[in-house]
Amino acid sequence: GGTFLCGKRRRKWGMCVKIRIELTDDGSEDEVVIRCGRVDARVREIEAFVREQAARELRLTFYQDNREFYFPVQSVLFFETEGEYVYAHTEKDAYRIRYRLYELEEKLPRCFVRCSKSAILNSERVYSITKNLAASSLVTFQGTHKHVYVSRNYYKLLRQFMKREQG
């Protein structure tokens, strides 16, 4: 192993940030440590960026019958619970996965948003949302017949998220 000082970067707030990369050869998983005097909005922004980068590399194992599949999570339209299992839905298929929704929420990239107690959707793949004041609203995805419902409790949060992502 070794320690390399990559440099200091002066930010627009005039604060100096040290960046250090430590190489290990012990086979341990990568770890990012943020050492700071206090947790403020800037530190949270750095944390969110690091989490997002790590999540983009996330690869899950998808199961169908006796086969295992490996593909990027960006191919998933939505995750949904059905009975005691969680399924990942792509444009053409559904695959069982070995995570609970609350575990996925922690691991998935920020573009995956909870839309009901039983589903998480990929906001980058949403084509339309049909609002229903009396019940759950319908979410469709481009290029497929598949859809998911967003509950009234999550509708407003999803709309806010979609508008924020548009810029």
- pLDDT tens across 30-82, in order? 788 888 888 888 888 888 788 777 766 677 899 999 999 998 898 999 999 99
CB within 8 A of 94, min separation 6: which ones? Answer: 64, 87, 88
Residue with tokens 């627009």: 12
Q: Give the model's pLDDT for residue 55.
A: 63
Range with the poorest average pLDDT among 9-13, 27-31, 80-84: 9-13
Q: Give the model's pLDDT for residue 4.
A: 47
Asked if residue 21 lies in contact with residue 6, where contact means CB atoms within 8 angstroms, the answer is yes
Give the whole-angstrom CA distance, residue 33 versus residue 106: 18
Q: What is the helix (H) or strand (E) element at residue 136, kind and residue range? A: none
Query: Please, which pLDDT band fits residue 19 given cuts at 50, 70 and 90?
Result: confident
Q: What is the helix (H) or strand (E) element at residue 166, kind and residue range? A: helix 152-166
Helix, strand, or coil (residue 42): helix
CB within 8 A of 63, min separation 6: which ones? Answer: 69, 95, 96, 97, 98
Phi, psi dihedrals of residue 68, rounded to the nearest 5°: -110, 140
Asked if residue 17 lies in contact with residue 34, where contact means CB atoms within 8 angstroms, the answer is no
79-to-26, 31, 60, 147 alpha-carbon distances in Å: 35, 27, 12, 11
